[in-house]
Amino acid sequence: MKEHILIIEDEKAIQSVLYELLVDAGYEVSLAGDGVEGLMLFRAKSFSLILLDIMMPKIDGYAVCELIRKESEIPIIMLTAMDEETAQIRAFELRVDDYITKPFSLKLVLMRIEAVLRRIRGKMEDQKILSANGIELNTESRAVYRNGSPVSLTQLEFELLQTFLNHKNQVLTRDNLISQVWGYDFEGDEKTVNIHIMNLRRKLGVDCIRTIRGVGYKFEIEN
C-alpha cells in the first residue's frame, strides 16, 4: 500500500507543487486548504505523515497540531515562512517531527519526509510489544494478552489487531485493512472484513474498535 500524506496548506500554488512532487515520488496525497478541512480529513482517513502550514484561515497550524496530538502521534512536518526561533520552539513543544521554512528546496522537503518516515518505520520494526487498553501483542512470539490473560486469535485476527495497534486513534478504511492484512490478491468482499473484526472484538472482550460509518474502523485509546 502506498504511504498516504496529508498536505494542509492554504496557498494553492504551494499545494500544487507539493502535490506533484509527492505523487511523482510514489506517495498517495490528499489536500486540505485550511485547518478545519485538514482536521476533517485526518479523522476520516489513514495517513502516514502530515505536512502542515502554520498561517492559515479559520484555525492555524499550531491549533491543528495541538488537536491532532491529543488523538495521534502521526508524524507532522511544519512548512512555514515563520523562521523566528520562538515559532520553531513552539512547534517543537507541540511535538512536531520537523520544521521547514519557506521558501524551501523541493529536494530538501522530499528528503526530510523520507527521513521522518524511515525513522518511524524503524521504530515500528524494533517494537516487539504493542499495547493499549489492557491488550498486549508480542510481534515476536505472536502471543496476545488481555489484562494478563492469554487470548487465542487466528492468524488474520492477529494481523488485524497488529495493524490497529500500529495505527492507534487513526481511521483505517476497509481498503487499508484489506491491503495490509490480506494483500492485493484478496478476492472476498467487505463482509469478510466485518466478520473478522466482529470476531476480534468478541475475543478481546473490549469495545475499542469503533466503526466509522461509511469509512472503516478506528482503534480508540481509553483515557
DSSP string, 54-107: SS-SSS-HHHHHHHHHTT----EEEEES---HHHHHHHHHTT-SEEEESS--HH
Residue 64 has pLDDT above 90, yes or no: yes
Give the count of alpha carbons within 13 A of 130, CB side only.
24
Most confident of 29-33, 120-124, 192-196: 29-33
* Residue 32: pLDDT over 70: yes
Q: How far is the C-alpha of 211 from the C-alpha of 218, rounded, in Å?
A: 7
| DSSP letter string, 103-143 | S--HHHHHHHHHHHHHHHHHHHHH--EEEETTEEEETTTTE
pLDDT of 138 > 80? The answer is yes
Confidence (pLDDT) at 61: 94
Q: Flag whether pLDDT at 127 surpasses 80.
A: no
Q: Could you tell me the pTM of the whole model?
A: 0.65
Residue 188 has pLDDT above 80, yes or no: no
Q: How many Cβ atoms from other residues are within 10 Å of residue 52's Cβ? A: 27
- Length of the chain measured in residues: 223
Residue type for position 113? I
The class level of CATH for 127-219 reads mainly alpha
**Does residue 51 carry a pLDDT above 80?**
yes
Instruction: Give the C-alpha distances (Å, rounded to integers) separating 122 from 127, 128, 165.
Output: 9, 12, 16
pLDDT of 186 over the 70 cut: no
**Which whole number is the average pLDDT over 130-149?**
87
Sheet with strand 135-138: strands edge to edge: 129-132, 135-138, 143-146, 149-150
What is the pLDDT of the chain when averaged over all its residues? 87
Question: In terms of pLDDT, which residue wins out, 159 or 127?
Answer: 159
Contact call for residues 21 and 110 (beta carbons, < 8 A): yes
- Grid coordinates standing for 113? 519526509
pLDDT of residue 45: 80
For residue 108, report the phi and psi dihedrals to the nearest 5 degrees: -65, -45
Neighbour count for residue 21 (Cβ, 10 Å) = 16
Distance (Å, whole) CA 1 – CA 212: 21
If you ran DSSP here, which 8-state letter would residue 180 be given? I
What per-residue confidence (pLDDT) applies to 133? Answer: 87
The Cα–Cα gap between 176 and 179 comes to 5
Domain ranges of the chain: 4-125, 127-219
3-state secondary structure of 207: coil
For 4-125, which CATH superfamily applies?
Response regulator (3.40.50.2300)
